[in-house]
Structure 1
Amino acid sequence: MLPPDPASVRALLVRANNWIGDVVLASPALHALRAHYAGARISVLARPRVLAALEGSEDLDEIIVFDDRGRHRGLAGRLLLIAQLRRRRFDLAVLFQKAFEAAALAAAAGARRRYGYATDRRGWLLTDPLAETDEIRSRHHAQVFLDLAAAAGAPAEDLALRFPLDARDRERARQELARAGIAETDPLVAVHPGASKTPRAWHPERFGQLAREAAKLVSGRVVVLGSAADAPLARIILDVSGALGVDLTGRTNVREMAAVCERSALFLGSDSGPMHVAAAVGTPVVAIFGPGRP
């Protein structure tokens, strides 16, 4: 079956992934959908934890928050969400998220065409299922999302990763850096020691050694980013690096962290969402990958 005629698609539903890094990797595919279905209203269904990677994006018209721990919890909550979706009368749904529930919600919402990978035993719920072969699983995640958008009729010409930042994010990051004693002219080496899974996290002592050498190269200072839980790692990194560095763990939200990365000369990290965010804002990245495919 051929993809829909763009002129026939007035409302398009995109199911976003549940992790910041995956949402960033899917951003070129979302941009391709926006370019191809320029006349459609694009609604993105997303969980609260990934909103920072979507709010302010020019490639969507609306974010529908999937509050699965609040108003959309349980059967009654899911029925409420389905009613919200049905009111929008979607002509097309593109499901970047691969779970059964994503396809079930799109079908229950009445989306006429439903594109997604035939994973999690959900192929029968999709009008246009794509087989996830070993060859596809071996591809970079960003390419997997691009292949799905292309199947839905939206081939990509612009492959750049995207992360929406605005002047407020940059100003809050500047203020946080200033409070830590960092001048606007100081070159920075940003370090994020956390990882999406513990086995993928590199040793903090080695990050400290790498940060020390990187800071010498750029004649700059080390800034350690992450959640408050990463503070013990930050102390080790700063102790080993011996550089004039600062610990910003627990002191920035995702968008402020992205703005610090944008301002940095280099980002050092493991396989994590912030690593993808740093790449999306144009910062040179050195990433250490552990078990798993990049």
Structure 2
Amino acid sequence: MRVLVRTPNWLGDTVMALPALLALRSHFADEVLVAAAPSAFAPLLSAAAAVDETVLLSREHSGRRGRNIEAAQLRSGRFDLAVLLPNSFGSAWVARRAGIVERWGYATRARGWLLTRAVPRPHRRSHLHQGDEYLGLLRKLGIESKPVATTIAAPPWMLARARRLLEDAGWDGERPLIGMAPGAAYGHAKRWLPDRYARVAGRLADTQGAVVVLVGDGHDRDTGYAIESSLVAAGGGGTVAGVVNLIGRTDLSQLIGLLAVLRALISSDSGAMHLAAALGVPVAAIFGPTDDRLTAPVGRHVVLTHNVWCRPCFLRDCPIDHRCMTGISEDRVFQAVTDQLLLPAAGGRT
């Protein structure tokens, strides 16, 4: 039998779904397990090593045309069963259109009639962690699933690519690396203040002898530039040693390799946060408008929040004064990451 699991569409959600993938691997041990995922996530699935094959879904087209292309891709795989982790109507429609006989998932967004086994989704007020929601789906489908540590290992070729990038940027191969992921795909409201990132970066470089590495995708470049500008201003107009800006300069395989060699990461609620935690890197996670009960990283981490009446609001942009983020001080973040550095390093990091 050929079993398809449709992964989530966001990087962080896919990391949180890895325990569910492992549970499916165990349950369908004698079957062919295939993941259908956005093509950009191929390095993550390779590092996780939970499936036999991967169908890489193109995101070149959206709407009906995109769904028809995806259905054609899945139809060619001749799957007997699809387990749908996304709750979207489109994912169920595509599975049915692809001719997959058995289609299992949560009965959400009026899609129950498209599924052959539809189970009720937990109520939002249950505040169930996203990873537990995926595992809960499997349990309701009769698949044994237990919460497990989400761990992945960066293969040697990913580590080598990351080290080359770091060395080209001036890293000597010896100084400890601390990462900062200041961006967020969801919206500006999830981002902590660039000038505070800058001050924490300067303090870490001065007190820990560390190289602070800024990471993120191309959409986060402006945040990276703002941090650099604050660093230059604090340095009296000169450059600041010990800070490397790699935002927009890594693909996913390089990012995995880079995160794997960090001693710690400071991050907003983002895909990089979840990746680092899954790689065993201690994370200081800064949460503002989103709910850490739902999407906190799984692994060694500390969550930093400022409790105000309006959080979690889940808004992309704050309509008032961004108090959930401005209330998190530079000192709290600095202390959180230095406390993490006192813990024994994992995976041979120095």
Q: Per the shorter chain, which TM-score range?
A: 0.7 to 0.9
Amino acid of the structure 2 residue aligned with 1:46: A
TM-score, with normalisation over the residues of structure 1? 0.86
Matched, 1:233 2:223: yes
Amino acid of the structure 2 residue aligned with 1:116: G
With 24-33 and 192-201 compared, the bigger mean Cα shift is at 192-201
**1 CA distance for matches of 2:190 and 2:261?**
26
Match for 1:208 among 198, 202, 215? 198
CA-to-partner distance for each residue in 1:153-182, whole Å, 9 max, x for gaps?
A: 333346122446321111011111111111
Distance 1:137 1:51, change over 3 A: farther
**2 CA distance for matches of 1:222 and 1:140?**
30
Matched, 1:65 2:56: yes
Alignment of 1:46-195 (within 5 A): 46-69=37-60, 74-75=64-65, 78-79=67-68, 81-135=70-124, 138-157=127-146, 159-163=148-152, 165-195=154-184
Alignment of 1:238-277 (within 5 A): 238=228, 239=231, 244-277=242-275
With 83-92 and 107-116 compared, the bigger mean Cα shift is at 83-92
Please list every run of 5 or more consecutive structure 2 residues that lacks an aligned counterpart in the other structure: 293-350
SS in 1 for 2:253: helix
Runs of 4+ aligned residues of structure 1 deviating over 6 Å after TM superposition are: none
Distance 1:78 1:132, change over 3 A: closer
SS in 1 for 2:46: coil
Amino acid of the structure 1 residue aligned with 2:42: L
CA-to-partner distance for each residue in 1:227-257, whole Å, 9 max, x for gaps?
A: 3443342244340595621111222212212
With 11-20 and 209-218 compared, the bigger mean Cα shift is at 209-218
TM-score, with normalisation over the residues of structure 2? 0.73
SS in 1 for 2:118: strand
With 85-94 and 25-34 compared, the bigger mean Cα shift is at 85-94
Please say if residues 16 and 150 of structure 2, whose CA atoms lie closer than 8 Å, have aligned partners that are also in contact. yes
Using CA pairs under 8 Å that are at least 6 residues apart, name the structure with larger relative contact order, 1 or 2.
1
Amino acid of the structure 2 residue aligned with 1:285: V
Query: What's the counterpart of residue 24 of structure 1?
Result: 15
Amino acid of the structure 2 residue aligned with 1:125: L
Quote the offset at 1:80 in angstroms: 5.5
**1 CA distance for matches of 2:132 and 2:205?**
33
**1 CA distance for matches of 2:24 and 2:91?**
18
Query: What's the counterpart of residue 35 of structure 1?
Result: 26
Please say if residues 218 and 248 of structure 2, whose CA atoms lie closer than 8 Å, have aligned partners that are also in contact. yes
Please say if residues 192 and 224 of structure 1, whose CA atoms lie closer than 8 Å, have aligned partners that are also in contact. yes
**1 CA distance for matches of 2:194 and 2:291?**
22
Quote the offset at 1:84 in angstroms: 4.4
**1 CA distance for matches of 2:177 and 2:47?**
26
Query: What's the counterpart of residue 224 of structure 1?
Result: 214
Quote the offset at 1:45 in angstroms: 1.5
Distance 1:233 1:43, change over 3 A: same
**2 CA distance for matches of 1:180 and 1:105?**
44
Please say if residues 67 and 90 of structure 2, whose CA atoms lie closer than 8 Å, have aligned partners that are also in contact. no
Distance 1:201 1:144, change over 3 A: same
Q: How many residues align?
A: 283
Quote the offset at 1:61 in angstroms: 1.5
With 262-271 and 87-96 compared, the bigger mean Cα shift is at 87-96
Quote the offset at 1:90 in angstroms: 2.8
Please list every run of 5 or more consecutive structure 1 residues that lacks an aligned counterpart in the other structure: 1-9
Amino acid of the structure 2 residue aligned with 1:270: S
**2 CA distance for matches of 1:84 and 1:230?**
32
Quote the offset at 1:260 in angstroms: 1.4
Amino acid of the structure 1 residue aligned with 2:216: G
Distance 1:186 1:98, change over 3 A: same
**1 CA distance for matches of 2:69 and 2:225?**
46
Amino acid of the structure 1 residue aligned with 2:93: A
Quote the offset at 1:193 in angstroms: 0.6
